[in-house]
Amino acid sequence: MKIKCFGIAKDITSTETLNIKDHAIVTVSDLRQWLMTNYEAFANVKSCMVAVNQEYANDNLEISDLDEIAIIPPVAGG
């Protein structure tokens, strides 16, 4: 499962694209849990959104390797 990382998420993971192999990740919520477990620094970030196929996703949305998934830290355009 590939996860695009932007902004502070890219700094924390040190990569633009995380490549996760963990079959326990079924929903967006699982992905969040995985990130918090594997990168403690996310505890110091305001809560991130997750986008699935370029749309903001709810925690209970199921995700698969076929989806385009991105971590969206608090936005700051303009």
Partner 1 sequence: MDNKIDILISPKLLSIDRCYDFVVNEGCGGICLFVGTVRNRNKNEDVTHLEFEAYKEMAVKEMNKIAEECHLKFKAKKVAIHHRTGVVSITEKAVIIAVSTIHRKNAFLACEYAIDRLKESVPIWKKEYLENGSYWVNARP
Is residue 1 part of the contact set for partner 1 (CB under 8 A)? no
Minimum distance of partner 1 from residue 16's CB (angstroms):
10
Q: Give the CA distances from residue 31 to residues 9, 54, 55, 76, 78, in Å, rounded to whole numbers and listed in that order.
A: 14, 16, 16, 23, 29
Region binding partner 1 by CB under 8 A among candidate stretches 18-26, 29-37, 57-65, 66-74: 66-74
Residues 10-39 that bind partner 1 (CB under 8 A): 10-11
41, 6, 76, 26 alpha-carbon torsion, rounded to 10°: -80
Whole-angstrom Cα distance, residue 37 to residue 29? Answer: 12
Contacts with partner 1, residue ranges (CB under 8 A): 4, 6-8, 10-11, 44-46, 51, 54-56, 70, 72-78
